[in-house]
Structures are given as structure tokens and as C-alpha cells.
Amino acid sequence: MSVPYLLILLRFLLGPLVVLLSFVLGEQSTYIVLFLMYVGLFSDIFDGIIARKMKIDTEKMRRLDSQTDLIFWLCIAWSCYIIYPQIIREKWIGVLALLAMEGLCYLTSFIKFKKETCTHAFVSKMWGITLLVAFTSMLGFAYGGWILTICIVLGLISQVDVILITLILKKWTHDVPSFYHAILIRKGVSFKKSKYLNS
């Protein structure tokens, strides 16, 4: 198994591990979970870089990477809820809206293309950064507040973008930076994809 696939596997295994640690250790697991979250983050960064260097950055790998990311970050969110439920409950409407929209993204893609979404869109990347900041704030400082609110709002925007991409595209495509780029693809207009979005 090549290094990029091993890094993806590592991230896949870290997800259930952080949930288990949260159940067993409670608040005592906060800094362990925080550390493992960053291990997962760096595995996500480097699997893409190494895959491009090895020229094995295939559709199969992109899809596997995308679904592993979903599992990993859902596990981190679950761990945060186990450790600090009151922080999540303060924003329960926004959190439920995020989960519903995420489900709608996948449902739309499966209905139209019989495949899951794998856009790696720019706004989704920005949402990923706010997720990292929000989870760091919760695990490191037991604080959600306005940081979590911004994360939720940007998450909803990113999911609307993904749904628009799915609806606009004529056929399933991975690594689409935005719904505007989906329009370009639909019209047959070529554009250069940034290598920084393909991670």
C-alpha cells in the first residue's frame, strides 16, 4: 500500500479512536483528541501532496480521501459533543441544519449521478479552516461562541455551493472549485485548477 493510502487509512482509524477516547476518558481526553485532530489534519495535507508527487492522484483516491474526511470530522464533532455537550446544544439549530444540509448534498448527488459528492470546492476548504478553529477552541479552551457561529454559517454556504455544483454539472466530476466553475464546465470552457485546492 502506498504512503498516500496509508495516510488516508490513518485518518480513517483516528476517527473512531477519538470517539472511543472521549467516551472512556471524558474531559480528560480533550488534549489527546486535540492532538489527534491535528495528526489527522496533517495526514490530509500530505496525502494529497505525496499523491501528486507520485502521480497517483486518481479519481478513486480523491473519492476515498473525501469520504474519509467526512468520517474523520464527524467523529471529531461527536467527540466535542461527548466532552462539551453544552457548547453544541447552545447552537443546536445551526448544528442540525448543517447535518441536514450535508445529507442533502449527498442525496442530491446520489439521485443525479449515483455517486457521492467529491467537489473539494474552495468555500468548502474555507469551511474546513473554520471547523479546525472551532474544534480547537472547544477542545483547547472549552469555548464555542461566535467562532462556532461563523463555522456554522460558512458551512451552510459551502453546502449550498456544493448542491449548486451538483445541479449545474451535466456529468459527475471531482475537484470543482465553485458553482461558477461548474457553469464553465457545463459550457465547455476550460480553466486552470489550483493545485492548492486539490488536497
Cell of 114: 449515483
**Do 76 and 90 belong to one domain?**
no
pLDDT at position 190:
83
**Do 49 and 93 belong to one domain?**
no
Over residues 148-155, the mean pLDDT reads: 97
Q: What is the pLDDT of residues 115-151, one digit of tens each?
A: 999 888 999 999 999 999 999 999 999 999 999 999 9
- Whether residue 83 contacts residue 27, with contact meaning beta carbons closer than 8 Å, is answered with yes
18 contacts: CB under 8 Å, gap ≥ 6: 29, 32, 33, 36, 37, 75, 76, 79
Q: Which of 83, 111, 142 is the last residue of a domain?
A: 83
85 contacts: CB under 8 Å, gap ≥ 6: none
**Do 149 and 159 belong to one domain?**
yes
**Do 60 and 102 belong to one domain?**
no
**Distance between CA atoms of residues 199 and 178, nearest Å:** 15
**Do 198 and 100 belong to one domain?**
yes
**Do 73 and 92 belong to one domain?**
no
Q: How far are the Cα atoms of 63, 150, 170, 175, 194 from residue 112, in angstroms, in the given order?
A: 17, 31, 9, 17, 27
Nearest to 185 by CA among 197, 173, 198, 199: 173
**Do 77 and 154 belong to one domain?**
no
Question: For the chain, how many structural domains are there in total?
Answer: 2
Average pLDDT over the chain, rounded to whole? 92
**Distance between CA atoms of residues 178 and 188, nearest Å:** 15
- Whether residue 166 contacts residue 117, with contact meaning beta carbons closer than 8 Å, is answered with yes
Its pTM stands at 0.90
Q: Which of 38, 55, 83 is the last residue of a domain?
A: 83
Q: Does residue 184 carry a pLDDT above 90?
A: yes
Residues spanned by the domain of 146: 85-199
Over residues 60-69, the mean pLDDT reads: 90
